Chains A and B, each alone.
Chain A
Amino acid sequence: MDKPLILRGVSRCSTRNFAAWLFPWVVLLAVGLFAIGLCLIAGLNQTNMDNRFAFGLWIFLDLAVIALGAGAFFTGFLLYILRRDELRAVINSAVVLGFICYSGAVLILMVDVGQPLRAWFTFWHPNPHSMLAEVTFCITVYLTVLAIEYVPILLKNRQLRKVPSFLAFEFQLHKVMPVFAAVGAFLSFFHQGSLGGLYGVLQGRPFAFREGFAIWPSTFFLFILSAIATGPAFVLLTTWMVSVLTRKRLVEKRVLSLLAKISGWLLIVYVGLKSIDTLVWLNHTAISTGTYPIRFFAWQPFDVWVLVAEIVLLGLVPALIFLSPSRRQSTAWLVTGSVLACGGVVLNRLVMTIQTLAVPTLKFEPFLMYWPNWQEVAAFVGVVAYGVILYSLSFRYLTLFPQERDLQQR
């Protein structure tokens, strides 16, 4: 039925099957929008957040999602700036993923703040000292960049190509794409860092506070590193998932293993620096504020194992997997590695957001734990659903994996 919209030479499932696939996601999206409506109309008392857990599930997942979305800018960076042309095979998919991650994050943020209609004050009366101001600026600009990067992919659609001016426009866009890639890369490096800075600068939270270079605490750089290290892994993971779901070969093996290799090298560097940072923090930064750092891990579930898991199990292990050429040949290992790597960055963001708030600062206040309620979960799942739907449509009607056609015809 929607044949004329689909690229020639690639096979797509029937419209009915496609609809069947979309349906549950649409339902989830609807539920999510309902929950969001509740929060906007009745206020944030609809969530389980409280004065201690001023940041909850949403901020944690925003950070996680944005870290994973780094795949977009970093792949672009590798492709357009460092000229790793193999990555052209995944760049479109990466861009769409990035767009989904960032737009979703911004959407949730708008629900998370108590007064969304005042959010623009940050642009009108910015506080240059605030990491959050930096983040807001970069993310909004970068989201626009992503939108622009999305356009040519969109214009590749079979029907849209028929409009001559669009075709011309797309051609022009392609020429300047490296510029956008560069801008995007710069912005992203910056805001990934700022997101880390968000917590590193918290002088009043010995658990999160880190020393650093100039105005940037060490977390600034660690966040950049962890993001770009896991970004490719996430692209790898999603590509694999899509090809499993659609039962198609989408990219050549070597592309995936290249992604893995890049991810691996960056991970190993990250793990190294993270370990050093942790040691400095335990033995110097925290001590200097008169705290016994080991107490930070005195409360369940945030035991010392969290630290071990984050650095070794979900950092070192995937790195080693990715760095061994033999394992890189096996899809199973690649996927395992990516899952671990992505898990690592997610755990790191969880620790930074939730554990930071859970551990007491005053001696006479208790350790507190927090669990999201259905409104919070539903709202987020809704955004995930939005992502899946958008990606599915893009995959069906646009060209996310240029190699797909050739691989199919072979």
Chain B
Amino acid sequence: MKIDVTRRDLLKFAGGAAAGVMLTPAPWKAIDDLAIWTQNWSWIPVPPKGPVTKRATVCSLCPAGCPVEARCVGGLPVSLRRLGAADAGALCTLGLTGHHLAYHPARLTAPARILHGSEGSRRVPVPLDTVMGAIVREIGAAGVDRRVAVLDMRPGRSVSWAWRRLLDSIPGGVLIPSPAREGSSLNALEAMKGSGSYGIDPGNARTILSFGAPLAEGWGAPESTYRLLGGAQRDLRLIQVEPLLSRTAQAADLWLPARPGTETALALGLGHLLLRGQAGAGAGAADLEAYSALTERFTPEAVAALTGVPAALLVHAARKLIENGPSLVIAGDDAGTGRLGRVCETAIMGLNLLLGDAGRSGGVVARAALPAPFETGSLAPEVELDRIDDRSIGLLLIDASEGDLPMPWRVMQRKLAEKAVIVAISPYLAGTTERADYVIPSAAYLETIHEMPTPFDSPVASIRLSAPLIEPRVAAVDAGEFVRRIAAAAQIDLPEEWESSEWLMKARVSRIHESGVGNVTTPADGAVQNVSELSSADGLWDALLAGGHWQSEREEPAASPYLLLGGIAESRWLAATSDRAAQLTAVFHVPRDVSASAAVSPVVTKIYQESGLREAERVAVNPVTAQALGLKRGSRAKLVTAAAEMGVSLVTDDAVMPGVIDVQPGPTATALGVKRKGEQHGLFDLFAADEEGAWRSMNATLVEV
């Protein structure tokens, strides 16, 4: 029999199938599985699996060198926290997210040539020999008028000595410690004392007078931040000189909003009061008469007129310094706030000497130098940038430039000769490295052993080693080895036989062991062990690699004559204190805890663009100032300084002193790993150093566009 299938039959069949399938798990399970699928999308990153371990190391992102405990999964770090007692403070945002940096999008993977064009720069990979060729060529052409200089962003490391050995055999070779490093004003002290190495002892100070140092924002060791904010336990009094109510000024006991550029006058004014306020102040000064003669005219009233700080406040501040000692005066010279210049720094350091000669616990102290990695034979000189002639550097090698505190490039630029060649060694193509002609990849934080020599705010010599936790993700070049290769290429023979930075560090550690001085503290349990008890240098090395902290004993107070005026000519003093009455002054202020590294974790967007807690590129004025200029919040304006001019969008903030433009370059787009095209100059470039090497403030104008 034949069955003729009509359309109606098919419809019935379909109906039956529809009814039937409802009686099976298929449709229901499909709906369920589909929902579950949305919970397990293949493109959502899955965290690593593996055994969980805790490993100790040291943070190498800023000179403070915090002890760190890394929580590792499958051997790789997934989170970091500061080891040790709570009252020692905690990691800053930069340190907390440090384990991200090895994976930063701006990582350099190979040596490259950077071609700087009108709209942005281009990166072309080149073999290392090409870079070496350029270096050797410049070394050949070197002389006193066309120097070969190494800009050392992290001076004091063993490899710095290797550089100086190399440079010693090159005419005009010189090592320049980063002018943007913290504590750079301490060498003003050396000029005043004639010789010796000095440190400060904030840990034991009860009162600190700070000229803009972001003490509560990650300046130096986190202890100071904790001591300032630590509520009930608060045992530190702070007098902050700053033209805006910064997060530190906020935490200060006394806030002296002085007009930018008048810090020298303010310091001399306080000198005036200290000389008269306490018996025997400045007794050890060879130029006491000259000093008192100079400070004579800086009466509280005169200074008040000049700086805008009420006379009564000045007197009050001076009294606090005398009464609530030990007191320490610091210049706040880190890049976060910009340098104040030699004259001003001398005036500020002079206050410390007026409060008591070096060697005062809680004040300025004589500090043993960290042993060099090898017997100091002849070394190239270490010269401050402001002592270098303008347009005299033909070849600039930038070492450890990942650790560059944000230095306005124009500060360096004025020292560069025609067609100067710049080579940077850095893990990232970000920050200062972007200015280089050639870049060479180096290992990032946690990828290799980083040496952490004496921090500027330590009263004793100290060293820490940052132990690696991650396999290097790129073919990194080691600075120590690189020096050796340059020497080979330029036929310079070096006395020592090092082949790597690690060799140099080991050499230094063994010399520390020989000296037998000091002790090693293990941050995990706080156990202290004298170096003399350690059988071998390797023992010390291992202790350091395990997160140990070596410190020397305190030096004996060295009372010796000094020059309160640092031997600086009176004309310069008068120039520095003259009333440069400017309508508007732009001040430089970088949030310290995200600016210590050229590259920062992308997660930092949480406190910038994602929360508005801080503006990434902030240009703020007091509403009063804005009104006077006929500008409104958010209005576009052109900010002009002697160095540069650029369009900005204005923010009004009552925390800013009237007449002041608060310029805060946050983490730049490149620092966050965001590719930004054609961005040749940023807010930094509005600032340039004057002949005294100061770049904290610039006279500026602001016009609506």
Contact = CB atoms under 8 A, between A and B. Distances in A.
Consider the complex of A and B and state whether they touch directly, i.e. have CB atoms less than 8 Å apart: yes
B38 A120 contact: no
A118 interface: yes
Contacts of B37: 117
A118 B39 CA distance: 9
A213 interface: no
A215 B38 CA distance: 34
Most buried by A among B31, B34, B35, B38: B35
Nearest to B37: A117
A120 B38 CA distance: 13
Majority-rule SS of A interface residues: helix
Interface string B6-40: 00000000000000000000000001001101100
Contacts of B38: 115, 117-118
Contacts of A120: 31, 35
Interface in A289-325: none
A368 to B, nearest CB: 12
Contacts of A118: 35, 38
Interface string A76-117: 000000000000000000000000000000000000000101
Contacts of B35: 117-118, 120-121
Size range of the chain A interface in the assembly: under 10
A145 B38 CA distance: 31
A115 B34 CA distance: 11
Contacts of A115: 38
Contacts of B34: 117
Nearest to A114: B38
Nearest to A119: B35
B587 to A, nearest CB: 26
Size range of the chain B interface in the assembly: under 10
Interface in A121-159: 121
Nearest to B31: A120
A230 B353 CA distance: 85
B423 to A, nearest CB: 42
A120 B34 CA distance: 11
A361 to B, nearest CB: 17
A120 B27 CA distance: 14
B613 to A, nearest CB: 12
A343 to B, nearest CB: 35
B381 to A, nearest CB: 54
Contacts of B31: 120
Nearest to A366: B612
Nearest to B34: A117
Interface in B19-67: 31, 34-35, 37-38
A364 to B, nearest CB: 11
B181 to A, nearest CB: 38
A110 to B, nearest CB: 14
Contacts of A121: 35
Contacts of A117: 34-35, 37-38
A117 B31 CA distance: 8
A117 B32 CA distance: 9
A114 to B, nearest CB: 10
A121 B34 CA distance: 12
A160 to B, nearest CB: 15
A117 B38 CA distance: 7
A121 B32 CA distance: 9
A117 B37 CA distance: 9
A120 B35 CA distance: 9
A117 B591 CA distance: 45
A115 B36 CA distance: 11
Most buried by B among A115, A117, A120: A117
B41 to A, nearest CB: 11
B285 to A, nearest CB: 51
A121 B37 CA distance: 14
A120 B30 CA distance: 13
B279 to A, nearest CB: 51
A117 B35 CA distance: 5
B8 to A, nearest CB: 11
A120 B36 CA distance: 12
A294 B256 CA distance: 41
A259 B34 CA distance: 47
Interface string A167-202: 000000000000000000000000000000000000
Nearest to B38: A117
A115 B38 CA distance: 8
Interface string B68-84: 00000000000000000
A118 B35 CA distance: 5
Interface in B572-591: none
Nearest to A115: B38
B633 to A, nearest CB: 12
B609 to A, nearest CB: 13
A121 B39 CA distance: 13
Nearest to B39: A118
A120 B32 CA distance: 9
10 contacts: A115-B38, A117-B34, A117-B35, A117-B37, A117-B38, A118-B35, A118-B38, A120-B31, A120-B35, A121-B35
Q: Which 9 A-B pairs have the closest CB atoms?
A: A118-B35, A117-B38, A117-B34, A117-B35, A115-B38, A118-B38, A120-B31, A121-B35, A120-B35
Given A117-B34, A117-B37, A117-B38, 7 more contacts: A115-B38, A117-B35, A118-B35, A118-B38, A120-B31, A120-B35, A121-B35
Interface of A: 115, 117-118, 120-121
